[in-house]
Amino acid sequence: MAMKIRLARGGSKKRPFYRIVAADSRMPRDGRFIEKLGTYNPLLPKDSEDRVKMDVERVQYWIGEGAQVTDRVSRMLEAAGVIEKKTRSNPNKGTPGKKAQDRADAKAEKAKAAAEAAAAPAEEVAAEE
């Protein structure tokens, strides 16, 4: 049986609430699960202790039994210090878009021209002395 530790959505429309569950990977997202391991409430502030609650011992048990952890749950476990942090590399995510790069280039050219203009009168004053 392929086990996963994943989120099961609950709550009403536009008010999400998630259960962290151990489930068979073939079951629907909000369907049957084997054990509830914790809760996640994304509406609470990030520094709130009640935002993510989980039974760490049971999570470690299921990982030991071979359960795969989904990406979102693995990030929560990394934050809790249960599993080691994975290195993720998305070099294109941090680069600005084409329009933002054009604006930055135009701003740099304008700043360069202003610096040259400010330096020119200073050179004239130095030449006169």
Which tokens sit at 106?
Answer: 């135009």
Specify the DSSP element, H or E, that contains 16.
strand 15-24
Name the region of 11 (left: φ>0; alpha: ψ -120 to 50; beta: rest).
Answer: left
**Superfamily of chain region 3-80:** Ribosomal protein S16 (3.30.1320.10)
Q: What is the DSSP-derived secondary structure letter of residue 70?
A: -
3-class DSSP assignment, residue 3: strand
**Parallel, antiparallel, or unpaired for β 3-12 and 68-69?**
parallel
pLDDT tens digits, 19-35 = 999 999 888 888 888 99
3-class DSSP assignment, residue 34: coil
Q: What per-residue confidence (pLDDT) applies to 87?
A: 79
Q: What per-residue confidence (pLDDT) applies to 126?
A: 57
pLDDT tens digits, 48-98 = 889 999 999 999 999 999 999 999 999 999 888 888 888 777 777 778 889
Confidence of residue 45 (pLDDT cuts 50, 70, 90): very high
Q: What per-residue confidence (pLDDT) applies to 109?
A: 93
Q: What is the DSSP-derived secondary structure letter of residue 31?
A: S
